[in-house]
Amino acid sequence: MEMKKSRKILLTVIGIIVAVYTLFPFYLVVMNTFKSANSIVSSPVGFEGISVSQLMTNLSSVVNNSNFNFWYAFGTSVIITVVSLIVLALFGGMAAWVICRNKTKWSTAIYMVFIASMIIPFQVVMLPLISTFRDVGNFVGISLLQSIPGIVFAYCGFGGAMTVFILTGFIKGIPYELEEAASIDGCSPEGTFFRIIFPLLTPVITTVTILNGMWIWNDYLLPSLMLGQNGKVKTLPVAVQAFVGSYVKQWDLILTAALLAIIPMVIIFLIAQKQIMNGMVEGAIK
């Protein structure tokens, strides 16, 4: 009993340390959006100089800044994220279903390729990827760099592996008899997917969509490489770069813009966290 109690205390202490460690950057961002640039430099961690009026001033400066172009960047981020997520959910689901139900050497090989691609770090492929995209774009006559379709295409490629991996695990738990019953009832294979399988995937697709959504929405590296720092198309994380100069960094505006960028994801995550956990567990045990 004593052992159990001391173990519990130890785990709680570790949990608190990890929570503080994880939340501290978020605390810094939120706290400093209430401060002026001078207050941030003089006291980046403390509460000195915080005021709601300063927050309003910072928000106004960020939203109305012509270099930052908040609404355009916000719209671009929304389009890239939403389109990528729809394509990932739809085609990821189809791929996972076919891989799971067709027990051939080819389907196993394709599944292995998906899994293998998950263990290759993005940093390894990012530079060859850019030159490949440029060459392919030149070849087909469609610009894949500095364009929304190009980056959506890249996100679908990078997100496809995890999506297929999680969905495959879930589909294995769906009784095959449901599909047989559907085919006897008169469903075509496409009908079976959209009328039976896809609705049953809703919990896990929600989970995957939120995980992919957080990644795509917050991603900086891929859009900065594909869209460029000074390109016409910018996502929110890339656009924040507008406040970073060679000699001066406008920390009040950088942090306020960062807060604006992460707020939608935080809200969605808080609303859907129960769904995420359910989806993770179902995917794991089914």
Partner 1 sequence: MASIRFENVTKTYEGATSPVVPNLNLEIKDKEFIILVGPSGCGKSTTLRMIAGLETITEGELYIGDRLMNKVPSKDRDIAMVFQNYALYPHMNVYKNIAFGLKLRKEDPAEIDRRVHEAAKILDLEHLLTRKPKELSGGQRQRVALGRAMVRNPAVFLLDEPLSNLDAKLRASMRTEIAKLHQRLDITFVYVTHDQTEAMTMGDRIVVMKEGVVQQFDTPQALYEKPVNLFVAGFIGSPQMNFLDVEIAKEGRKLYAVLGKNKLAVPDFKCNALAPYAGKRVIMGLRPEDFLGQNQLTEDNAMDTEMSFSELLGADYNLYMSVNDIRIIVKIPAAGAQPERGSYRIAANMDHAHFFDKETEQAICH
Residue partners of 59: CB distance under 8 A and separation at least 6: 33, 256, 260
CB of 222 to partner 1, least distance (A): 35
- How far is Cα 220 from Cα 55, in angstroms, rounded to an integer? 25
Residues 218-237, interacting with partner 1 (CB under 8 A): none
Report the residue number, 120 or 181, with the smaller CB distance to partner 1: 181
Please say which residue, 44 or 191, places its beta carbon nearer to partner 1: 191
Helix, coil or strand: residue 24: helix
Among 28, 200, 214, 280, binds partner 1 (CB under 8 A): 200
- Which residues in 128-187 contact partner 1 (CB under 8 A)? 175, 177-178, 180-187
Between 121 and 186, CB nearer to partner 1 = 186
Residue 180: count of CB within 10 angstroms of its CB: 11
Q: How far apart are CA 159 and CA 89, in angstroms?
A: 10
> Dihedral through CA 167, CA 173, CA 176, CA 181, nearest 10?
-90
Residue 281 contacts partner 1 per CB under 8 A:
no
- Residue with tokens 């030159």, as numbered in its chain: 131
Smaller CB separation from partner 1, 75 or 191: 191
**Of 56 and 181, which has the nearer Cβ to partner 1?**
181
Query: Among 121, 128, 199, 245, which residue interacts with partner 1 (rule: CB under 8 A)?
Result: 199
Stretch that binds partner 1, among 80-88, 110-118, 195-203, 243-251 (CB under 8 A): 195-203
For the record, the structure tokens of 213 come out as 């959504």
What tokens were used for 26? 């978020």
Shortest CB 280 distance to partner 1, Å: 19
**With respect to partner 1, which residue has the nearer C-beta, 141 or 199?**
199
**Token reading at 58:** 């910072």
> Which among 140-148, 159-167, 199-207, 254-262 is the span making contact with partner 1, rule CB under 8 A?
199-207
Nearest distance, CB of residue 141 and partner 1, angstroms: 42
Q: What are the structure tokens assigned to 147, written together?
A: 């364009």
Q: State the Cα angle at 267 between 163 and 86, rounded to 5°.
A: 30
Closest CB to partner 1 among 138 and 202? 202
Instruction: Taking each helix axis as running N to C, give the angle between helix 70-101 and helix 105-118, from 0 to 180 degrees, rounded to the nearest 10.
Output: 150
64 or 202: CB nearest partner 1: 202
Least separation in angstroms between residue 211's CB and partner 1 is: 22
Report, in Å, the least distance between residue 284 CB and partner 1.
19
Distance CA 149, CA 161 (A): 19
CB of 180 to partner 1, least distance (A): 5
DSSP code string of 42-77:
H-SSS-TT--HHHHHHHHHHHHT-TTT-HHHHHHHH
Which element (helix H / strand E) includes 118?
helix 105-118
- For position 202 contacting partner 1 by CB under 8 A, the verdict is yes
> For residue 16, what are its two tokens?
């608190």
CB of 199 to partner 1, least distance (A): 5
Rule CB under 8 A: which residues touch partner 1?
A: 175, 177-178, 180-187, 191, 196, 199-200, 202
